[in-house]
Amino acid sequence: MIRRFKSFWQIVRRLSGDDAYERYLEHFARHHQADPEHVHCQPLSKKEFFKQWQEEKWRGVKRCC
């Protein structure tokens, strides 16, 4: 029961974008820090990331009739 609730909660977080920053950090660790050329790169701060993420999300047709 608790496990089900947890996975449901995860879906809600994922759908709403609540965990977007965590996923960005994971993506960053996988793709940037593994690469020796980019090892000195720092990920964006949560506030900065969220700003860019929101701008990105609202480009193009996102809502219909």
Closest to another protein by CB, 40 or 59: 59
Our finding on whether 61 is near another protein (CB under 8 A) is yes
Rounded to an integer, what distance in angstroms lies between the CA atom of residue 57 and that of residue 9? 22
The residues, ordered by sequence, that sit 6+ positions from 41 with a Cβ below 8 Å of its Cβ are: 32, 33
In the list 6, 12, 35, 41, the residue contacting another protein (rule: CB under 8 A) is 12
Our finding on whether 16 is near another protein (CB under 8 A) is yes
Nearest Cα to 18, choosing from 48, 53, 62? 53
Interacting residue ranges for another protein, rule: CB under 8 A: 11-18, 20-21, 23-24, 27-28, 31, 46-47, 49-65
